């Protein structure tokens, strides 16, 4: 049993009006089976009660270690995975209430760019087909007008429109990621989930893709959920940042504010790990002890208590509420108040 039910500060029964996406108490548990008869032996709690919202036109960064549930969160929001519990409101409507056909239509509004530009493009299709297929399926354009639109899109993402008949393997990693972006843009979506879109690229190419994403956001008024594990990248591109640990968001706030004034001990530790560009500068590194506990059996109370240097008895028993400490800076930590007094 995961502690007490987590209070969600952003909740209230009605979805907020001024946001594009609102995620409410989202859970995704993967069943784990064992033995000859496939007996259920437990659940991997990949996403375990996550709540946040994204406003139109902003970029929300989501950071955390490998396996903390960032990617799963992104996929559940797009309903590429079905949730175990919780709701995702897109423009006020819970997407999990939609039937298959309604969901298919909603996909025009929300798209995804995957981490690996090698495996996310169908090797048997030409660039024109990859980018243009959705246009045809959704009845936006076909034939000539489809090709025209695809050429436009290729141009927008900085590829040569003449390469429309080429196959993905004829492009470099950075170019392939541009194809992925062009594909996501094809239907003029409002939301694009960028699932570690630059992690698989060379550092020199990373900045090109990041700049492209920023330019496109300005041009088409896009909203991004930007999932990454590179803190510098997230700080650079995000308006607000959420920090995930073991399937939960532990802290969320404006990018500047969060990086300047981290309130959760896990955020503190993460930030202290960012390398400084000046070798003369030293900073107190907070080294976390031990490994991330298994999401199969997460610690009781606050999931972070096993590695927290400030741990108190209450942390073991109670899951801390996720509360707004002012200025849309949310944190889930029992010790926030006591530590402020110190």
Is 259 a binding residue for other proteins by CB under 8 A? The answer is no
Tell me the window of 42-50, 88-96, 129-137, 263-271 that interacts with other proteins (CB under 8 A).
Answer: 129-137
Residue 53: strand pairing partners? 22
Distance of closest approach, residue 143 Cβ to other proteins, in angstroms = 18
CA diameter of the chain: 68
Does 104 bind other proteins (CB under 8 A)? Our answer is yes
> What is the nearest approach in angstroms of other proteins to the Cβ of residue 60?
19
The verdict on 275 binding other proteins (CB under 8 A) reads no
Query: Does 124 help bind other proteins (rule: CB under 8 A)?
Result: yes
State both tokens at 80: 């590429």
119 binds other proteins (CB under 8 A): yes
Nearest to 57 by CA among 217, 226, 187, 189: 217
Q: Is 39 in the site for other proteins (CB under 8 A)?
A: no
Can you give 194-249 as a three-state secondary structure string? EECCCCCCCHHHHHHHHHHHHHHHHHHCCEEEEECCCHHHHHHHCCEEEEEECCEE
Residue 123 touches other proteins, criterion: CB under 8 A: yes
Q: Which stretch binds other proteins (CB under 8 A): 103-111, 143-151, 247-255, 273-281?
A: 103-111
Stretch that binds other proteins, among 47-55, 122-130, 209-217, 276-284 (CB under 8 A): 122-130
Nearer to other proteins, 55 or 108 (CB): 108
Torsion of CA 18, 23, 24, 27, to 10 degrees: 180
Residue 124 CB, shortest distance to other proteins, in Å, is: 5
Among 4, 92, 122, 202, binds other proteins (CB under 8 A): 122
Q: Which 170-209 positions form the footprint of other proteins (CB under 8 A)? A: 180, 183
Rounded Cα–Cα distance for residues 225 and 206 (Å): 17
316 near other proteins (CB under 8 A) = no
Nearer to other proteins, 169 or 341 (CB): 169
Q: Are strands 191-195 and 223-227 parallel, antiparallel or unpaired?
A: parallel
State the DSSP string of 156-188.
HTT--GGGGG--GGGS-HHHHHHHHHHHHHTT-
Sign of CA dihedral 206, 209, 212, 217: negative
Question: In the range 158-177, which residues lie near other proteins by CB under 8 A?
Answer: 167, 169
Nearest to 135 by CA among 149, 125, 121, 122: 149
Interface residues with other proteins (CB under 8 A) are 38, 75, 78, 80, 103-105, 107-108, 111-112, 114-116, 119-124, 133-134, 137-138, 167, 169, 180, 183
């Amino acid at each position: 049993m995961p502690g007490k039910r987590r209070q969600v500060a952003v909740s209230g029964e009605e979805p907020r009006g001024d946001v594009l996406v609102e995620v409410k108490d989202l859970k995704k548990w993967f069943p784990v089976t064992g033995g000859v008869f496939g007996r259920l032996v437990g659940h991997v709690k990949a996403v375990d009660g996550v709540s946040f919202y994204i406003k139109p036109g902003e970029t929300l960064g989501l950071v955390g270690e490998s396996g903390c549930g960032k990617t799963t969160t992104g996929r559940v929001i797009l309903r590429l995975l079905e949730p175990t519990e919780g709701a995702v409101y897109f423009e006020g409507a819970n997407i999990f209430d939609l039937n298959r056909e309604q969901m298919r239509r909603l996909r025009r509004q929300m798209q995804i760019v995957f981490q690996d530009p090698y495996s996310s493009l169908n090797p048997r299709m030409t660039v024109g087909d990859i980018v243009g297929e959705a246009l045809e399926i959704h009845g936006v354009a076909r034939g000539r007008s489809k090709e025209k639109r695809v050429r436009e899109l290729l141009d927008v993402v900085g590829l040569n429109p003449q390469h429309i008949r080429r196959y993905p393997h004829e492009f470099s990693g950075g170019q392939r990621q541009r194809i992925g972006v062009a594909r996501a843009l094809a239907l003029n979506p409002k939301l694009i989930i960028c699932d570690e879109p630059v992690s698989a690229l060379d550092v020199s190419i990373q900045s090109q893709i990041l700049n492209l994403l920023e330019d496109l956001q300005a041009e088409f008024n896009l909203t991004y959920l930007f999932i990454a594990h590179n803190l510098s990248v997230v700080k650079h591109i995000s308006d607000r940042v959420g920090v995930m640990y073991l399937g939960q968001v532990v802290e969320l706030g404006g990018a500047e504010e969060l990086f300047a004034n981290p309130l959760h001990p896990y955020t503190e530790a993460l930030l202290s790990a960012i390398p400084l560009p000046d070798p003369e500068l030293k900073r107190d590194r907070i080294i976390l002890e031990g490994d991330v506990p298994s999401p199969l059996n997460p610690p009781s109370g606050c999931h972070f208590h096993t590695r927290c240097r400030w741990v108190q008895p209450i942390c073991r028993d109670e899951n801390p509420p996720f509360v707004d400490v002012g200025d849309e800076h949310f944190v889930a930590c029992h010790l926030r108040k006591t530590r402020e007094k110190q």
